[in-house]
Amino acid sequence: MPSGLPMLMAFTDRTVDDRPVQRNRLPAHAYFVGSAVFHYLGPAFAVLLFARVDVLGVAWLRIAAAGIVFALWRRPWRVWRRLDGGTRRLVAGWGAVLAVMNSAFYLAIDRIPLGTVAAVEFLPVVVLAALGARTPRNGAAVGLAVAGVWLLSDVRLVAEPWGFLFAAANAVLFALYIVLGHRVARNEAVTGIDGLALAMLVAAVVAAPIGFLDAAPAFVDPVALAAGIGVGITSSVIPYVCDQLAMARLPRATYALLVSLLPATATMIGIIVLAQLPTAVEMAGVVLVAGGVALHRERREAAVAA
């Protein structure tokens, strides 16, 4: 998946334990840096893999690899057996959205720079927060984010209309992913990791008709198969574990502020790994989106400030 997990965790209503983990001496910010880097380093490696495996095939390999790792780790079928019908439908819907969202994300990064896709992805998140807490501050945040995406769209719509449309579809699905993930996180019958593990397995099944045949060449290419598994681990498993460790030790407001750096992180990784040099206008758009993410506040944060 794209950078959904840090934002999903930052925008749930669950209380996060801000107390430091006594047995872990590594600074909390180090975990966030690890999460921020791997969330986009994995997709950057995926772009390099597109030369050997079709785009949708790489997307399926990522989902399936992460699903297998989480399944072996969490054994989520034990949780599935005790869920009621409504919760099962919720988790299945979350997994279906995850499958389509990842496919749209990979189709987008195949056509336009990684930093641009990441910036567009954050617009619905800021809008959701603004709808939850209608304050002047959130209004300004939406204004910045919209202006940034407008600059990016003005640059990319003419040159790569399909790439930008896939990025927009990914952004809308990302917002739906957050809403469904929020509901799963608030469901007492399933914990966050187990819910994600179940959703990943569902996503692998849902995405199979879309990407399995395209992934087939990797099964006879050990290098491509290993790379696909690596993309799944670096894109989904490592960042999620880092998110958990960071959220356990960082105050909620601090974590939400740090998340605003992710569009810039994606841009830098695009430059270093993929040689995707942004124009001055694109860089301004990414900065505006990052500013909007940093400025916005959730409903709970706005209430505390008031």
Q: Residue 94 has what pLDDT?
A: 92
- Of 304, 297, 71, which Cα lies nearest the Cα of 200? 71
CA–CA separation, 31 and 164 (whole Å): 31
- Top-confidence residue, 153 or 96: 96
Q: Which residues contact 57 (CB under 8 A, 6 or more apart)?
A: 211, 212, 213, 214, 215, 216, 217, 218
Quickly tell me which residue has 């270093």 as its tokens: 272
Q: H helices then E strands: how many in the chain?
A: 15, 0
What tokens appear for 255 in the block?
């974590």
Could you tell me the pLDDT band of residue 21, with boundaries at 50, 70 and 90? very low
CA distance 267 to 239: 17
Average pLDDT over residues 177-182: 82
- 238-251, pLDDT tens digit by residue? 887 787 677 667 77
The whole-angstrom separation of Cα 20 and Cα 298 is 23
Q: Above 60 in pLDDT, residue 150?
A: yes
What is the reported pLDDT for 192? 62
CB 133 within 8 A of CB 299: yes
Local confidence band at 236 (pLDDT 50, 70, 90 cut-offs): confident
Which residues lie closer than 8 Å to 58 by C-beta, 6 or more apart? 46, 49, 50, 106, 211, 215, 228, 231
273 against 152, higher pLDDT: 273
Determine the Cα–Cα distance for residues 62 and 229; give it in Å rounded to an integer: 6
Q: CB-based contacts of 191: which residues, under 8 Å, 6+ apart?
A: none
Q: CA 283, 285, 286, 292: dihedral to nearest 10 degrees?
A: 150
pLDDT surpassing 80 at residue 298: no
Buried b (16+ CB within 10 A) or exposed e, 242-256: bbebbbbbbebbebb
pTM greater than 0.95: no
Q: What is the pLDDT of residue 63?
A: 94
Residue 58 pLDDT exceeds 80: yes
pLDDT score for 300: 56
Is the confidence at residue 4, as pLDDT, over 70?
Answer: no
What is the tens place of the pLDDT at every residue in 76-112? Answer: 888 898 899 999 999 999 999 999 999 999 999 999 8
Count of alpha carbons within 13 angstroms of residue 30, beta-carbon side: 4
On the question of pLDDT at 230 being above 60, the answer is yes
Nearest to 175 by CA among 1, 300, 4, 56: 4
Average pLDDT over residues 226-234: 92
Where are the domains positioned within the chain?
Answer: 27-305
pLDDT the model gives residue 174: 83
Q: What does the mean pLDDT of the chain come to?
A: 80
Cα(80)–Cα(76) distance, rounded to whole angstroms?
6
Ranked by mean pLDDT, the top range of 3-7, 178-182, 226-230 is 226-230
